[in-house]
Amino acid sequence: MAWLDTRQKLEILADAAKYDASCASSGTAKRQSTRGAKGGIGSTEGMGICHAYAPDGRCISLLKILLTNSCVFDCHYCINRKSSNVRRARFSVEEVVDLTLAFCRRNYIEGLFLSSGIIRSPDYTMERLVAVARSLREDHGFRGYIHLKTIPDADPDLIREAGLHADRISINVELPTQAGLTRLAPEKSSARIEGAMGRMQAEMIDSADARKRYRKAPRFAPGGQSTQMIVGADAANDRTIIDRASSLYGRFGLRRVYYSAFSPIPAASAVLPLSRPPLIREHRLYQSDWLMRFYGFSAQDVGNATDADTGNLPLDIDPKLAWALKHRDSFPVDVNRAPRTMLLRVPGLGVKAVNAILHSRRWRSLRLEDVGRLTTSVAKVRPFLIAADWRPVALADRADLRPRVTPPPRQLDLFGA
Amino acid sequence: MYQIKLDAPDDFEGWRAAARRLARADVPPERIIWSVETAGSGSADDLFAEAFSGAGRPDMDGSESADAAPFAISRAFLDLAQTALLHSDPARFALLYMLLLRTRRAPHALHDKADPLVRRVEALAQAVRRDKHKMRAFVRFREIGNGDDAERHFVAWFEPDHHIVRANAGFFVRRFPNMRWSILTPATSIHWADGILREGPGANRSDAPDGDPVEDLWKGYYSAIFNPARLKVGAMLSEMPKKYWRNLPEAALIPALIAGAQAREAAMIAAAPRKERLSQERMSR
Ligand code: SF4
């Protein structure tokens, strides 16, 4: 095999794929390989495995590449857009299959995340993507994780086949508002994107239904669907972004919404901002996403934590603390009596700590020292809690609470904001 | 004092059998010395210790005699103990025995997550789970052989913190049942071929191959998927601490990638046409 040639193409096509934040390989059906000619290779065991981390802090669990970085569309924020002067490359179906297997055998990765620029037509492109997944599954018995990016305008039959081979499928909504999309991705439409998301959700529901009746009924994308929004390429504020994410979760049963802080790309289009939003903004959005998925916050709760004028989350404190500071009358919370929902609102108490508190307090009354063993920072939670031997001295009312609970500024972002 | 010698550092069955007999005989933790049988360990025996067999006392012979108090160990305790026992901390056997006695007296003891002993044992188990997970993640196979499918053999060198290798073998069998592979570590090695898993003695790094032709491609991928505009070294280090780097081929690239990152982004912004920068400044005002 001409490895040198492959290496150059791989570098171009991985470089083009790195703006997609998702590398998840968890939460799909459990599968393993078995001995024998048809036994295959690869497995998925629920918890995804990050086989490496890059210096950008991101997990590498999948071979994440584009089939080609040529594209007939001209989305301004995208390095692969038609008018970009980036070097182009294209992999054949066999090349991607061989690379995936070669990497998997050496335990570099546990699957493939394949996307593509649109060449010739949406159907032609989608057909190539599906061909890779089909060959991996059917010719090589590949049991690892496959994530396929689908193309909204492709034939629904192709998307159905994609979902039968893939663990996860996704379509990026790209920008939080239709206005942003119109300006920055003129060939895309949120109506068509959402139409495709709705069809994929319907397929998932049908497949789950069928499997209740016939155990052997094929699964459609058991890892669900996800999407990505670019943050900071247009003027949308955090409140708008959070509302949009929450409506996508609600309407399409998405597994995940990823946020990607807009990165300045080489040879950027003139309509884009030249500097990027602080990475900490993306981090705050992920935190608010967690609050909605695991802490019982509604989009409105998180919205209440944003600044009334700008609609943005504070950058210096996390959204849970921001919410607590705006709702001081809800605190302090009694660790020995408060319901789970209220314990989850306490800044500094994670889901695990809350569960441990609920377990432990059935057997005895918890003191501050006990809480200290269950959390990372008792200093952070103390102002908001009552324990058997502890009651904050109306600390939650004090005007100087914010400086007391705000972490000292830390250089989180090497390039500054 | 009683001396209990386990067959191996991960000998859970041996620990369980001994702990059951000791607990039934109400032997207090401070009267037991736990150790692991190693070649030539005889001379290090505690001179004042006697081997504990329980033989000769009807309630202590290890069998469930009719008049022995029923002794059920909860599933939750067994799961926790089975994991925590793989830790390299020499105190693990004693800590688990103390916890076992505690759960006998107070069946709910494990639920008290704020209790120092429960915390300590859970921390052991947590460290073991992490080590197992990291082994699954960071083992890197290198191929030896001539490309002929029947001859292909994939060999990895890995240095775990705890005694997890045997317990982790199943994962690699489920993932790579049709490959011939070996994982070499300082204390043990495991080999899979033709559907049979074998164990061997510890090895040296020099016993493993020092390269693989696909590694260059992997390194190319690793550099290209990294986004220099968002350096977060701390996040990388917390999940991939430096102690793993020497066995990860891609880690050799990290210093250069970090050094290049800041320069690359600065160059990117400087390269944008002046006119655009001006209009951008106007926009942001
Ligand atoms: S369609 Fe996709 S690849 Fe093509 S320019 Fe738009 S975002 Fe980039």
The reply to whether B11 and B116 lie within a common domain is yes
The reply to whether B106 and B161 lie within a common domain is no
The reply to whether B97 and B162 lie within a common domain is no
Q: Please give the backbone phi and psi of residue A136, each rounded to the nearest 5 degrees, phi first.
A: -60, -45
Q: Last residue of some domain: B113, B131, B149?
A: B131
The residues near B264 (Cβ < 8 Å, ≥ 6 apart) are B228, B229
Domain extent for B197? 139-207
Q: Last residue of some domain: B147, B182, B207?
A: B207
The reply to whether B199 and B154 lie within a common domain is yes
Which residue type, as a one-letter code, is found at position B164?
A: I
The reply to whether B105 and B41 lie within a common domain is yes
The reply to whether B20 and B68 lie within a common domain is yes
**Cβ atoms of residues A61 and A24 within 8 Å:** yes
Q: Give the model's pLDDT for residue B66.
A: 41
Please give, rounded to a whole number of angstroms, the shortest distance from the CA of A250 to a CA of chain B.
Answer: 31
Cα separation of A53 and B251, whole Å? 9
A359–B176: do the CB atoms touch at under 8 Å?
no
Residue A312 has pLDDT above 80, yes or no: yes
The reply to whether B31 and B108 lie within a common domain is yes
The reply to whether B113 and B45 lie within a common domain is yes
Parse chain A into domains and list their residue ranges: 6-267, 327-405
Q: Last residue of some domain: B187, B207, B227?
A: B207
Quick one: CA dihedral A379, A382, A387, A391, positive or negative? Answer: positive
Q: Counting atoms of ligand 1 from 1, which one is nearest the CA of A74?
A: 5
The reply to whether B183 and B244 lie within a common domain is no
B177 contacts on A by Cβ (under 8 Å):
32-35, 39
Which residue type, as a one-letter code, is found at position B129?
A: R
What does the radius of gyration of chain A's CA atoms come to, in whole angstroms?
A: 24
Cα separation of A62 and A100, whole Å? 9
Cα separation of A341 and A349, whole Å? 12
The reply to whether B119 and B10 lie within a common domain is yes
Total domain count, chain B: 3
- B10-32 pLDDT per residue, tens: 999 999 999 999 999 999 999 99
- A27-57 pLDDT per residue, tens: 888 999 988 877 799 999 988 999 999 999 9
Least confident of A244-258, B182-196, B262-276: B262-276
CA A177 → CA A103, A129, A230, A235, distances in Å? 38, 28, 11, 9
DSSP string, B60-112: GSSS--TTSPP----HHHHHHHHHHTTSS-TTHHHHHHHHHHHHHH-TTGGG-
Q: Atom 5 (ligand 1): residue with closest C-alpha?
A: A81
Q: Give the model's pLDDT for residue A394.
A: 62
Residue of A nearest to B138 (CA): A51
Least confident of B112-116, B137-141, B236-240: B112-116
Query: Structure pTM?
Result: 0.88
The reply to whether B265 and B246 lie within a common domain is yes
Residue A317's CB: how many other CB atoms inside 10 A?
Answer: 19
The reply to whether B66 and B186 lie within a common domain is no
Q: Which CATH number fits domain A6-267: 2.60.40.10, 3.40.50.1100, 3.20.20.70, 2.60.40.2130?
A: 3.20.20.70
Give mean pLDDT, residues A227-232: 92
- A155-210 pLDDT per residue, tens: 999 999 999 999 999 999 999 998 899 989 989 989 999 999 999 999 999 999 99
A12, A78, A188, A271: residue to mutate for ligand 1 pocket, most atoms within 8 A of CB = A78
